[in-house]
Amino acid sequence: MNKCEVDGQPIHIFKTGSSQLNDGWICEPHAKQAGFKSALQLNKYAKIATAAALKQALTDGINYKEKLDDIQNSASDRIKSQIKSAGIPSMTGMKKELAALPDIIDDKETITYAVNGGLKGNTVLMVCTNKRILFIDKGMVYGVKSTEIPLDSVNAVSYSSGMLLSKISVTNGATTTQIVSIPKNTAPIMVERIKEARDAYQKNMMSPEKSSSITDLRELKALLDDGILTQEEFNAKKKQILGI
């Protein structure tokens, strides 16, 4: 039986609702005490909520829902500002994908450009950041699907245009991803932004500081391969080296 992280008491699923967060379970009474209408509403904040933070908020007498709302609003404002600064045109039919960006783009990422197009029969939002190329698909049934290509994996990027629409091809290794039905005026901008972001990323990785980090990571990986470090220890040290 699951136990609530606030008081350690068993959660009787037939008597009360519950919410599963990354670091534990919260019973419905404590979810309501933290400002949520129900445990089901807390589930909607699962990407940014933690049981430990909720417990601390109750101890401090803070409305945890309001705190999470402030975090979400701040992330949304940041994304809107980046979209405006990048000169990205309005994209009809992409509201759901755009609304999902605050949950996908982290605090250390900057959006450089975005376009809408078709990928494997689905309409997607293609986003270039200073770290990666994202393909976001907000389905009617399955929710948000997000795939990515890291900028350091991009070997080539190009576009071709027809009468009204364009196609962008991104090659990483032996794989080429093609995004079709892109508005003709946005395709060349997107390709140029990807090239600029990739070059800037690679230049940054070649700085003395980054080179040192790469060396440390290689040495760390060797310790993992030799069985000296566990996977958990490797992951923790990797995050420490990369500052994430």
106 vs 113 pLDDT, higher one: 113
Q: Looking at residue 130, what is its pLDDT?
A: 94
Q: Looking at residue 195, what is its pLDDT?
A: 96
- Report which of 179, 183, 190 is spatially closest to residue 164, judged by C-alpha positions: 183
pTM for the whole structure: 0.68
Share of the chain above pLDDT 70, in %: 92
Q: Looking at residue 196, what is its pLDDT?
A: 95
At CA 132, angle to CA 130 and CA 135, rounded to 5? 130
- 239 C-beta neighbours (distance < 10 Å), count: 10
Q: Looking at residue 199, what is its pLDDT?
A: 92
In degrees and rounded to multiples of 5, residue 45 shows phi and psi of: -105, 15
Asked if pLDDT for residue 8 goes beyond 60, the answer is yes
Give the span between the Cα atoms of 161 and 196, in whole angstroms. Answer: 21
Structure-token match 């037939």, residue found: 14
Average pLDDT over every residue of 219-242: 79
225 Cβ partners below 8 Å, 6+ apart? Answer: none
68-108 pLDDT, tens digit per residue, is 999 889 989 999 999 999 999 888 778 888 888 888 888 88
According to DSSP, the β-strands at 132-138 and 144-150 are: antiparallel
What does the block give as tokens for 208?
């003395």
Average pLDDT over every residue of 119-126: 91
195-224 pLDDT, tens digit per residue, is 999 999 888 776 555 556 667 777 888 888
Asked if pLDDT for residue 187 goes beyond 80, the answer is yes
Mean pLDDT computed over every residue of the chain: 87
Q: Looking at residue 70, what is its pLDDT?
A: 92
E-strand spans in the chain? Answer: 18-21, 24-27, 111-119, 122-129, 132-138, 144-150, 156-161, 165-172, 175-183
According to DSSP, the β-strands at 175-183 and 165-172 are: antiparallel
